[in-house]
Amino acid sequence: MNTGFLTIYWRDMLRFFRFKTLLISSLVQPALWMAFFGIAMSANFNRLTSEIPPIPGVPSVDYLTYMAAGVIAMTTLFTSLFGGIVLLFDKNWGLMREIFASPLPRNHIIFGIALSGMTKTFIQAVIIMVFAIFLGAAFFAGFTTAETLLSLAGILLFVGVFSLGFLFLSAAISISLESPEGLQGIITLLTMPIFFASNALYPITAFPPVLQAISAVNPLTHLVSGIRYFTIGDNFQAIGIHYTATSMDIALSFLLLVLFAVLMFTLAMWRFSKATVT
């Protein structure tokens, strides 16, 4: 087997751990989201929803626990969308010439970058979970040890596949563009609808139909559903809404993420085959 992608992976991880500022800020940033936005919003939501009578017989979770899954998803989204930017820098600084002139197949560049991006999102996801539990999120409540471990694996699986999709997309955009500013602009344009037309921070049940339709095909929604299923369970209520999920629903969400990743990989391959670096 050609393991050329590991070379690209090795270099990107080397850089990740070398830039201490980048490393630390990428780990602290999601924690800050939890600490400030999470605590502030959960105080509000808990007050607003205190009037709503709880649905009897359904376990209830507070807003912090509810939105922590959203923060994991959001962080994964941002990290993945920016994950390909190194390709753009490499292209602009001439470093990509060395790689393109080497015998390394181009799909290995995509695989390598995606794998290192995925590793970063794993590290971040774990840190956020630990921090969320520290802040009081009721993750894995009532789970046995085996269930908790299985859930952890499930979360990483969802986060992994989701991040691959957006890393492929990011690689495709990066290799096609000339300037980092352009990438910034495109990413901002993408993150707004993806993030806000999803169930990351609030329920989508009250959305107007168009927004609901968007959120139903939004990969982020499916990632969040998956994470909630694994961190909270298949039957709970939060901010006055009853959430249920069957394992079938979750499998479907997962398949959707896989499909998205495959599509994005095809896009990236096409962009890479067209790319000329001189």
Partner 1 sequence: MRAGSILTRTIIEVEGLYHHYGDIAAVDGISFSVEEGEIFSFLGPNGAGKSTAINVLITLLQIQQGTATVAGYDVGKDPQQVRNSIGIVFQDVTLDRDMTCGEILEFHGRLYRMPSVERKQRIDELLSLVELDAKRDVRTKHLSGGMKRRLEIARGLMTRPKVLFLDEPTIGLDPQTRMRMWDYIKAVNDEGATIFLTTHYMDEADHLSDRISIIDHGRIITTGTPYGLKNTLGEDLIYLETADLPGTLVTLSAMGEVKELREKSRGIVAMLTGDGTKILPQIIENLADKGIRVSAVNLKKPSMDDVFLHFTGRELRDEGAEKPSTAVARAGRR
Sites of contact with partner 1 (CB under 8 A): 2, 4, 6-7, 10-11, 14-15, 18-19, 93-95, 97-104, 276-278
CB atoms within 10 A of CB 209: 7
C-alpha 231/C-alpha 55 separation (Å) is 20
CB closer to partner 1, 4 vs 160 = 4
Query: What is the per-residue DSSP string for 111-153?
Result: HHHHHHHHHHHHHHHHHHHHHHHHHT--TTTT--HHHHHHHHH
Least distance (Å) from partner 1 to the CB of residue 278?
5
Helices 20-32/5-18 angle, 10° precision? 80
Least distance (Å) from partner 1 to the CB of residue 187?
23
C-alpha 80/C-alpha 162 separation (Å) is 9
Least distance (Å) from partner 1 to the CB of residue 64?
38
CB closer to partner 1, 89 vs 134 = 89
CB closer to partner 1, 97 vs 242 = 97
Least distance (Å) from partner 1 to the CB of residue 23?
13
Token output for 52: 């709503």
DSSP state of 37: I
Closest by CA to 95, choosing from 173, 3, 168, 8, is 8
Least distance (Å) from partner 1 to the CB of residue 112?
11
C-alpha 13/C-alpha 228 separation (Å) is 29
CB closer to partner 1, 53 vs 103 = 103
Least distance (Å) from partner 1 to the CB of residue 170?
20
CB closer to partner 1, 95 vs 190 = 95
CB closer to partner 1, 19 vs 134 = 19
